[in-house]
Amino acid sequence: MRRATILVLLIALSSVIAPLPLEALNVRGHLLKSKTFLSPAFFLHPGSVSNKFYYDVPFPRGHLALKSFNAEVVDENGVPVPLHDTYLHHWVVEPYYALKNSDSADAQKLPKGIIARNSGVCKKTLGQYYGLGSETRHTATWVPDPYGIEIGNPEKPPEGYEEKWLINVHAIDTRGAIDKLGCTECKCDLYNMTIDEYGRKLPKDYIGGLYCCYDETQCKVKEGFNGELRKLFLRYTVTWLDWSDAVVPVKIYIFDVTDTSPPDEKSGTACKVEYQVEECSPENRAKNECIDVKVTKEVIPCGGDIVFGVAHQHSGGIGASLHGQDGRLLCASIPSYGKGEEAGNEDNYIVGMSTCYPKPGSVKVSDGEVLTVVSNYSSDRQHTGVMGLLYILVAEQEQPAPKPALCFSFPVPWCLPTWLTSNL
C-alpha cells in the first residue's frame, strides 16, 4: 500500500470512529460533508415513556444526496446512554412540506404540512426515509457510491410549500423496572392500560404494543426505587454530497411483514407495524422448534437494482429476509445481540442489524414483481409489539457497475469510499 493511501485510510478510519470530526472529505472531486445535530431535549424518570414528534428539526439544507444517517441517545453531557437505562424503541426521520406564509388569509384553508412519504409500499404508516431502534449504534446506513437519496430538490414541494424535516423519538426509561423486557415490549398490564391514547377500549386479546406505551405513560418500577429525572437527546449525524449528475438517485421502499392484504388490493391500512409472537407449544419445544416464522407477499411498484437492504426487528428477532417472485434471496438481515453492560453492547438487546450491499447490478427486481417478506423470531417465550420490516434502496436506471464499496460493522458501521478501495 502506498504511503498516501495509508494516510487517507487513517483519516477515513479516524473520521468514522469518533463522531465525524471532519466537516468534509473529498470524494472523486465531490465533497462528502457531515454534521452532527441534537434533537430537542426529552425528559425521562424511571419507568416513563417519551414518544414525541419534533417538527422543523436541524437538518442539512439545499439540493443534496444523503449518504448516511446515524443516531443515538445521549445525556446532557453528550455521554451515550445504554439501552437498559433508556430503551430506544424507535426513531423515525422524514421530510414534509411546510406551508410558507401560513398567516396570510389565502393560506388559512391550506394544510400547514404535507408528509413527503418514501416510495412505498405502506399507504398510511412507515413513510419514513430513515428509522431504526435499539440497533442504531451498529447498523450501517451508508448508501454506496454512486448512489444517493435525493433531498431538497426545489421542484418537489407543492407551490407555496418548503421542505422541512421531522423526527419522532420513542424512548422508554427502564431504570428500576420490575420487568425491563416487559416494559420495552409495552405489555399493557405493566402500564396498567386498558384504553388507548384516544380513550378507546383496547381489545381483550391486545396484551402489548404501542397502544399501551404512548407518550407520557408509565411502566411499573420496583417499590421505593429512586432515580433522577434525566434530560436526554437524540444525537444524529448526517452525511451528504451536494446533488449532481454524478449521483444516481435511489428510491426507498419499506416492506412490513404484517401487511397481510392480498398483493393486488393493497389498501395500505394493513401495514399494522407490530405483531405478537406466541410462545411455542410443548410439542414444538420438545422438538426444539421454537421459531415463529411470519411471511407476507408485497408488490414492488417499480423495479431496478437493489443497492442496500436492512431489516428491523425487536428483541427475540433472529433474522428477516426478502425474496423475489422466483424465491431468490434479495437480502437477509440478521440481528446481533449485546453481551455486556456498556452502550452499544447491552446484554440481550439487539445492538445491530447486518446489512446487504449487493455488488451493484447483481440483484435486480422488476416492475410489479411480487416479493416475499420473512421475519423470524424465537418463540421460546411470548413477545408483544414486535416488528418485521425490510428496508431497501432501489436504483431505477441501469448503471455501468461501479466497484463495490467495502463496508464494515465494527467498531461502528462504516465503509471505505470506492475511490479508496479501487486503489487497494
Ligand X SMILES: *[C@@H]1O[C@H](CO)[C@@H](O)[C@H](O)[C@H]1NC(C)=O
Binding site for ligand X (CB under 6 A): 192, 291, 293, 318-321, 332, 374, 376
Q: How far is the CB of 43 from ligand X (least distance, A)?
A: 20
Q: How far is the CB of 258 from ligand X (least distance, A)?
A: 16
Closer by beta carbon to ligand X, 321 or else 372 = 321
Give the count of beta carbons closer than 10 Å to the beta carbon of residue 305: 23
DSSP assigned state of 265? G
Residue 29's Cβ-count burial label (10 Å; 0-12, 13-18, 19+) is: exposed
Q: Is 184 in a helix, a strand, or coil?
A: helix
Q: How far is the CB of 121 from ligand X (least distance, A)?
A: 20
Closer by beta carbon to ligand X, 34 or else 376 = 376
Q: How far is the CB of 63 from ligand X (least distance, A)?
A: 38
C-alpha cell at 398: 441501469
Phi, then psi, of 231 in degrees rounded to 5: -100, 120
Q: How far is the CB of 297 from ligand X (least distance, A)?
A: 16
Q: How far is the CB of 379 from ligand X (least distance, A)?
A: 11
Residue 73's Cβ-count burial label (10 Å; 0-12, 13-18, 19+) is: buried
With CA atoms as reference, report the closest residue to 88 among 334, 423, 312, 321. 312
Give the count of beta carbons closer than 10 Å to the beta carbon of residue 344: 18
C-alpha cell at 392: 431497501
C-alpha cell at 119: 416510495
Closer by beta carbon to ligand X, 6 or else 293 = 293
Q: Cβ distance 191 to 78 under 8 Å?
A: no
CA distances from 40 to 58, 79, 235, 279 (A): 10, 16, 10, 39
How far does Cα 30 stand from its chain's mean position?
A: 27
Closer by beta carbon to ligand X, 25 or else 318 = 318
Closer by beta carbon to ligand X, 193 or else 250 = 193
Closer by beta carbon to ligand X, 374 or else 395 = 374
Closer by beta carbon to ligand X, 16 or else 320 = 320
Print burial letters for 318-327: b (CB count within 10 Å at least 16), e (below 16).
ebbbbbbeee
Q: How far is the CB of 311 from ligand X (least distance, A)?
A: 8
Q: How far is the CB of 310 from ligand X (least distance, A)?
A: 13
Closer by beta carbon to ligand X, 291 or else 302 = 291
Q: How far is the CB of 293 from ligand X (least distance, A)?
A: 5
With CA atoms as reference, report the closest residue to 328 among 364, 292, 296. 364
Closer by beta carbon to ligand X, 304 or else 309 = 309
Residue 361's Cβ-count burial label (10 Å; 0-12, 13-18, 19+) is: middle
For residues 280 and 378, what is the distance between their CA atoms, to the nearest angstrom?
A: 9
Closer by beta carbon to ligand X, 221 or else 241 = 221
Q: How far is the CB of 375 from ligand X (least distance, A)?
A: 8
Q: Is 272 in a helix, a strand, or coil?
A: coil
